[in-house]
Amino acid sequence: MARADIGVFGSGAWGTALAITWARAGAKVALWGSFPEEMALMAATRRHLRLKDVTFPEALQTSNDPVEALAAPLWISAMPTQVTPEAWRGLRPQAAKAPELVIHVSKGILQSTHETLSQALTGVLDVPVGALSGPTFADEVSRGVPSAIVLALPLTVSKDRAKTLQTQLSSETLRIYLSRDVVGTELCGALKNVLAIAAGLVDGLGLGYNARAALITRGLAEMSRLVEVLGGQPSTVMGLAGMGDLLLTATGPQSRNRTFGELVGKGSSVDAARDALGGQVIEGMFTTDAALALAKAHGLDLPIAAEVQRLLNGESPQEAVRRLMTRSLKSE
């Protein structure tokens, strides 16, 4: 294979779905994953276990050796949030040179430092870091179902370069909107997972559509408060990265976070609900504590997130709903 145009680091369903999309659109893509058996299986079958109906395009190459992906001029980081900075500390020294830009597609806040990934990776990689986020399920993107997403780039990336990247990463089935609000885009993507757990809880308890609509709407208000105090833009919250992603994740049956909350609402323990999802990462579980720590540091109240935290600590789902419904009355 000639030098890849794009290197994708992380062979989960989402990273692989994006790699498939870009390869299908004509880019040469090198997909790296850290698990040799998994990568060998994908190389042999030209399929991903969680994207079973999709065959890899010829322009997509997979390997557990990062050399081809590291040689690409554009790096896409698609690893689980909590392990991403350490993984890059191991990968970066293996590259002959760094690219001019790294884009991450993970959603979450680091538990250890309460940073977003752009904040953490900028220090690790010493290059500008952007984020790609929005209302997208991996299997639909991999199958070419029409989808729209936000590419948030820092102001250090020139306007012309930003437009070039927007064009490069868009396709007939993946429409990309450009943003300069990196931190707002990241925080929306992280917080929607916490709120999706709460929405799943409402579904699991059988509380109906009225309650779910109220939960999503008030959750959007919580998201807005934290995003704005940390420097994000209100327009981001009301766009694809915020409201769009929240609506999808809080209502879509494919959402891991929503399904996890639903299982707990139906009576499963936290551990049993997580096991039922086959060991998939429930990012909202990691984000909850970090989001609440950031809120506390800035004097903010996030009542829905606080109840999700209590839920994760083993408290009753019914009691969580009771507390939310009996909070002191206030103006919207």
Looking at the annotation, which residues are catalytic?
A: 192
What's the count of helices (H) and strands (E) in the chain, helices before strands? 16, 8
What is the amino acid identity at position 168?
Q
Residue carrying the six token digits 């940073």: 115
Which stretches within 92-207 are classed as H helix?
A: 117-125, 138-142, 159-169, 182-204
DSSP 243-257: IIHHHHHHH-TT-HH
Distance (Å, whole) CA 194 – CA 214: 15
Sign, Cα dihedral of 322, 324, 330, 332 = negative
Report how far apart, in Å, the C-alpha atoms of 313 and of each of 81, 179, 289, 322, 326 are.
21, 36, 11, 17, 21
Distance (Å, whole) CA 321 – CA 316: 9
Report the DSSP pairing between strands 102-104 and 174-179: unpaired
What is the amino acid identity at position 324?
L
Please answer whether residues 154 and 118 qualify as being in contact, where contact means their C-beta atoms are separated by less than 8 angstroms: yes
